[in-house]
Structure 1
Amino acid sequence: MEARRAVIYESLETSMERNGGILDEESVRQAVQQFDEFMKPKAYPVMEGQDIRLLCCPHAPEAARVCFEAATEIASVVHAPNSIHLNTEASMHVTLFHTSHPDDRRAFSPEIRAQELDVLRRIAASVPGFTLKVHSIVIASSGSIVMLFEDPEDGIERIRDQARSAFPSMPKKQPAIIHSTLARVLSPSMTREDLAAIQDKCHELTTRLKGYQAPISSMWYVEETHFFSAQSGRHTTIELSSSTIH
């Protein structure tokens, strides 16, 4: 898995170069459609009984601060008329998987919610708190700016592996990387020069933060209501085994 992840990380880091040094304008336009005129994420279309459910690991306060400060530094090199959306410090997280994905919804009810939470608590009880290490910070051709992590204790993979067995019918589209989204560029036609400034800042932050240890002690079960918004909707916190960070 580590070797496969390394290939994906390299592909992400070079995706803009392979696209001629510019963004994939169509991908960025699709993302822009999911924000309102104030650059706030829009609500998902309501589909009764098919709510979105996201599982993620929130960052501890110090790691969340590091993520947000990195996002803020990147935003400092983005100038008008270009637009960038930063995720909030309180929402910084690592996505685990979806039991119902925005593009592939699954049935939902109070009974299903209770069943999913019961399974997730059993998984959490079998996985001790663990530590991720920063690998790099990159801007992808999609406009997403992400902090990529190494998983030396296999904590994320243990959770995902158990989830695949416990939820055999969960959506096929699931993350293959370990990342926190810091920000999104919302200007499809940003110039090469402006994008190069973002890349330079990402490289600078990678040099500074590589190896930074981010402790993980819990999961969020998020009944997500808005695009790109793990802080939206109802949250249930599930502590990992032997966790000491709250």
Structure 2
Amino acid sequence: MNFTHMETTGHGTRIKQQSPNQTLMAMAPRPPSSCSARPRSPGAAVWFLPAAALLLVVLLRWQRMGSYPPVSPRGSGSVPARRAELYSKMARDLDERGAAFLRGGETSQSLTLSDLFDTGDDGAIVPRLKAADPPVRANVLHLDPEFATVISKAVKEVFLPYFDQVIWFQNTSMYHFSMFHASHHLEPIVATDAEIEAEVEAVKRVTQTVCPLKIVLDRVVLTSTGVLLGLWQVESGTDPGEIRSRLREALPRAPQKQLYDPVLLHTSFARILGHPKLPEEQSAPSFDHVKFFHGLVAQVNEKIHGFQATVSELWYVEEYDVLALALNGKMKVWRLHLGCNRQGNENS
């Protein structure tokens, strides 16, 4: 059996096939007249909690998975309704809590931008990666770059003119939907190489029973902690709740408390690190930042609301760096194709 090994750094991504016997390491105003095509120096430090940690602050306020019964994606239609209700709550977060990321945020820990990012020789922001001890073991659905690049283009067209120095865009080769953790930072569960190999085999058996998902972008939202999220509905295939349920059965040692509601299907597109660059006349203390951000999000939704994609891979990932999937860190990836065996999908 061959696995795909992916080592990702701030300089790019390398993927190669390796056998198991080999060692694997790893509304809005008019835009300003000029803008950069990529982020540069952040200037003064701002309070920032990136990627999964930012998202965690918001999502932990909704129901954690824990133990839960299998969810049928077809039938009464309650799953899409539950998903829509959850998304409506998430969309209200910015109105209810304001743009907390502009005033230091309300996070479980306070980190400065300089704690997590450096400025490279070319002026671009690069992550300051930190080793994860022990590594996080995550199961994520992967969105192919064919779809991710379309989304990223739309997001950059809207946000870059205002945040060219203080925004971090998700790597289009790493767009993913978090499903289930075999170990996470809140409840680390150390595993030997043999135990990890057994987990991979168990997850592979699950993926052989899971059908590819045809999904549609329900909406884009910006959270109070500065994370731009894509929230998705499922048109066909095995529902995320059912996938999580099968992974729970396959990974009995996994943390009982998982990080996300079982029906949630979300992707992080970008995270804002600081204040927008605005014309001087719009920078007064009375400026309505929430209205401004709603205008930008509305522009993105106008571009990509209803965007359709297909998901056909699940990745089992060891993240050797903190937030490796979000910050282009070191990781080890097993790419597992969704097989859709009839026996495992009679009700999918």
Structure 2 CA distance for aligned equivalents of residues 74 and 54 of structure 1: 31
**SS state of the match for residue 274, structure 2?**
coil
Q: Which moved more, 1:226-235 or 1:160-169?
A: 226-235
Match of 2:92 in 1: 14
**SS state of the match for residue 321, structure 2?**
coil
**SS state of the match for residue 259, structure 2?**
coil
How far the C-alpha of 1:42 sits from its partner, in A, is 4.0
Match of 1:36 in 2: 117
Q: Counterparts of 1:1-246 in structure 2 under 5 Å? A: 1-19=79-97, 21-23=98-100, 25-27=105-107, 30=110, 32=112, 35-38=116-119, 39-47=125-133, 50-79=134-163, 83-153=166-236, 154-171=238-255, 172-176=257-261, 177-187=264-274, 193-230=288-325, 231-232=328-329, 233-241=331-339
Per-residue CA shift, 1:35-65, capped at 9, x if unaligned?
2233444434442xx3211111221232111
Change (3 A) 1:112 1:61: same
Change (3 A) 1:7 1:59: same
What runs of 5+ residues in structure 1 fail to find an aligned partner?
none
* Paired amino acid for 1:169: R
How far the C-alpha of 1:77 sits from its partner, in A, is 4.0
CA contact (8 A) 1:136 1:147 kept: yes
How far the C-alpha of 1:118 sits from its partner, in A, is 0.7
CA contact (8 A) 1:148 1:179 kept: yes
How far the C-alpha of 1:76 sits from its partner, in A, is 1.9
* Paired amino acid for 1:115: A
* Paired amino acid for 1:15: D
Q: Which moved more, 1:22-31 or 1:196-205?
A: 22-31
> What's the % identity of the aligned pairs?
21
CA contact (8 A) 1:51 1:108 kept: no
Structure 2 CA distance for aligned equivalents of residues 103 and 189 of structure 1: 33
CA contact (8 A) 2:162 2:276 kept: no
Change (3 A) 1:29 1:183: farther
RMSD of aligned C-alpha atoms? 2.7
CA contact (8 A) 1:78 1:198 kept: no
Q: TM-score, normalised by structure 2?
A: 0.62
Change (3 A) 1:227 1:202: farther
Q: TM-score, normalised by structure 1?
A: 0.85
Q: Which moved more, 1:37-46 or 1:131-140?
A: 37-46
**SS state of the match for residue 113, structure 1?**
helix
Change (3 A) 1:70 1:168: farther
Structure 2 CA distance for aligned equivalents of residues 68 and 228 of structure 1: 20
Change (3 A) 1:198 1:76: farther
How far the C-alpha of 1:72 sits from its partner, in A, is 1.2
Structure 2 CA distance for aligned equivalents of residues 8 and 45 of structure 1: 33
Structure 2 CA distance for aligned equivalents of residues 104 and 239 of structure 1: 28
Change (3 A) 1:59 1:31: farther
What runs of 5+ residues in structure 2 fail to find an aligned partner?
1-78, 120-124, 278-282, 342-348
